[in-house]
Every structure is written in structure tokens, then in C-alpha cells.
Amino acid sequence: MDAIDRLDRIIHEPARLKIMTRLYVVESGDFVYLARTTGLTRGNLSSHMLKLESAGYLEVIKEFVDRKPVTMLKLTDKGRQAFIEYRKNIFEVIEFSE
Amino acid sequence: MDAIDRLDRIIHEPARLKIMTRLYVVESGDFVYLARTTGLTRGNLSSHMLKLESAGYLEVIKEFVDRKPVTMLKLTDKGRQAFIEYRKNIFEVIEFSE
């Protein structure tokens, strides 16, 4: 089984790869900010968010800031681990074609 | 527009990424060998091959070897260029999440 077969398809999908790379470098990010910076529509972001959540990669936290509801997204430890694994594999894929 | 948006979706799909990485390191490869080493069924390989061919990334050459028909696959210059570009972009994606 080569590195491509080990690629996590949940993460490999470009929109989700985008969400994962952005959340990986922060503690958590709010939904509206994430929609704006990824360029995904809110509907699209929602559905990919659900997919990542059901894989156990993402945690959705509803908070109130100044009495306004805010949806915060945060990678779980499992999600961070899966992302590190994905990076290792995709790097291997690229390297071998050098 | 970040590196993920520049990712060539034709190449990003795992089965096609597999075909591209394998053909990138050789002059050409025959269909049967490629099916065996990628683990793709012939039907699957055929359909991805067509997709890559219609993108202008792949050339299909039918030859006779010992009077037997052989289908050879070969990346075009455009395909090699697109692959180099893909690698550059995916590397950027990974790097920025370090």
C-alpha cells in the first residue's frame, strides 16, 4: 500500500483541506471568519464542517459574545493527529515523484 | 487566492494522482502494468485515463509487441507541467500549516 492509498479522503477534499489547514494553526476559529477567509459559502462550510465533525476531527462550540451567538470551530486531538498523518503521506507522495 | 484554490482538481483526485506520479517518473508505462501497480481495476484506470487524456495531460499510444496489442500511456509536456505545478501548490499548502 503506497502513500496515496493512505491519504485520508476526508481531509484530502479541497474545501475540507482548507478548513483543516486554517484551524490547525489556531486554537479555534469562528464560523463567520472562516467562511470569509476560505471563500466558502456558509452552506458549503456548514456541510463540510458536519462531515469533519462526524469524523471526530472537529468540535463545534456555541458561545455568546456580547449576547450574540457565535459558532466556534476547533480541531480535536484526533483531528490534529489525522492532519499530521495526512501531511506526512502527501509529502511522501510528492517526494517520490521528484 | 491561496494555494489550495490553485490545486488542479484533475490531478488532486487520488486515483489520478497515482497515475500521474507513476507516469511522471517514466518515459511511458503500459496499461496492464499500470493497472497492476496502482491496484486500480481496469475499468477504473480506463475512465481516469480518459479524463487525463481529455485534459491533454496524457497520451495513449497503441502498439503491437510480438503481434500483441499493447496500450502505452505517456504524460504529455502539458501533463508534466501541470504535475510540477500541482506539486508546488500542494507543497505550499503543507508548508503553511507547519
Low-confidence ranges of chain B (pLDDT < 70): 1, 96-98
Interface test with B, best of A1, A4, A86 (most B CBs within 10 A): A4
Q: Could you tell me if B2 lies within 8 Å of chain A, comparing CB atoms?
A: yes
pLDDT digits (tens, 9 = 90+) for A8-29: 999 999 999 999 999 999 999 9
Going across the sheet that includes B29-30, the strands are: B29-30, B68-75, B58-65
The alpha carbon of residue A82 is apart from the nearest alpha carbon of chain B, in Å, by 13
Contacts of A91 in chain B (CB under 8 A): 91, 94
8 Å CB contact of A12 and B9: no
pLDDT computed for residue B93 by the predictor: 87
Alpha-carbon dihedral angle through residues B5, B34, B77, A4, given to the nearest 10 degrees: 20
Question: How far is Cα A73 from Cα A34, in angstroms, rounded to an integer?
Answer: 9
Residue among A4, A18, A87 minimizing CB distance to B14: A4
The answer to whether the beta carbons of residues A16 and B50 sit under 8 Å apart is no
8 Å CB contact of B14 and A7: yes
Beta bridge partners of B68: B65
pLDDT digits (tens, 9 = 90+) for B34-58: 999 899 999 999 999 999 999 999 9
